[in-house]
Amino acid sequence: MGIAILVDGYNVIYSSSELKRLLEKSRYQAQEKLVNLMSSYCSLEGREGYVVFDAYRGRCLKSEEEIGSNLKIILTGTGETADSYIEKFVSQKKAYYDYIYVVTSDYSQRRTADDKKVLFLSPQNFLKEIEAYQKVLRETYFSSPSKACLRVSDYLKSEVKERLDRIREGLS
């Protein structure tokens, strides 16, 4: 038992200005960024995560890829939507989990899965939760505040920086 979180990948991408900008450059960059966010989130929360990208209009075979021990990426096959995959997953696996969180903007899914164990999050609320976790990670594991362009020296102790400066100046 445990908690699973299913994410309709493109719903989340289209709900985030940052991910949407990446999508305009490359679908794969946007997908990769979302997968990285989910991987960190699932690791920190100890949840099983599933990011579902639909290939409804594309021509491809259904595929699943496991990323680490707690995250799977699903690409639905031709003719299958992320929504239909999520609905099937919930109906088949809800007995296995204590709770299943579903991140989608599709309100028709909320009506089809009327169960106390299935909880819905809007992509916007989910992104806010992800941002909160990123902030915790930065504050917990990084010594300097977030900067636009971080350098290795930003993480060094002052004594080490001074010694490196002396070496660079030839004063070792």
Q: What is the pLDDT along the chain (172 residues), one digit of tens a residue?
A: 799 999 999 999 999 999 999 999 988 899 999 999 999 889 888 899 999 998 756 677 778 888 888 999 999 988 888 888 998 999 899 889 999 999 998 766 665 655 778 889 999 999 999 988 888 877 777 655 555 566 676 677 778 777 777 777 776 5
Q: Are residues 14 and 93 in the same domain?
A: yes
Tally of domains within the chain: 2
Name the residue range of residue 152's domain: 143-172
Three-state secondary structure call for residue 49? strand
Q: Are residues 131 and 172 in the same domain?
A: no
Q: Are residues 30 and 53 in the same domain?
A: yes
Per the CB < 8 A criterion, the answer to whether 63 and 82 are in contact is no
DSSP string, 74-142: EE--TT--HHHHHHHHHHHHTTT-SEEEEE-S-HHHHHH---TTEEEE-HHHHHHHHHHHHHHHHHHH-
Q: Are residues 11 and 76 in the same domain?
A: yes
Q: Are residues 76 and 161 in the same domain?
A: no
Three-state secondary structure call for residue 26? coil
Q: Are residues 28 and 50 in the same domain?
A: yes
Q: Are residues 87 and 148 in the same domain?
A: no
> Which region holds residue 122: left if phi is over 0, alpha if psi is between -120 and 50, else beta?
beta
Q: Are residues 103 and 37 in the same domain?
A: yes
Q: What is the pLDDT of residue 24?
A: 92
Q: Are residues 15 and 28 in the same domain?
A: yes
State the alpha helices, DSSP H only, in 8-81: 9-15, 17-25, 27-45
Q: Are residues 132 and 153 in the same domain?
A: no
| Half-sphere exposure (Cβ direction) of 96: Cα atoms closer than 13 Å | 8
Q: What is the pLDDT of residue 123?
A: 94
Q: What is the pLDDT of residue 134?
A: 82
Three-state secondary structure call for residue 4? strand
Q: Are residues 22 and 42 in the same domain?
A: yes
Q: Which strands form 48-53's sheet, in the order they lie side by side?
A: 63-67, 71-75, 48-53, 3-8, 99-103, 118-121
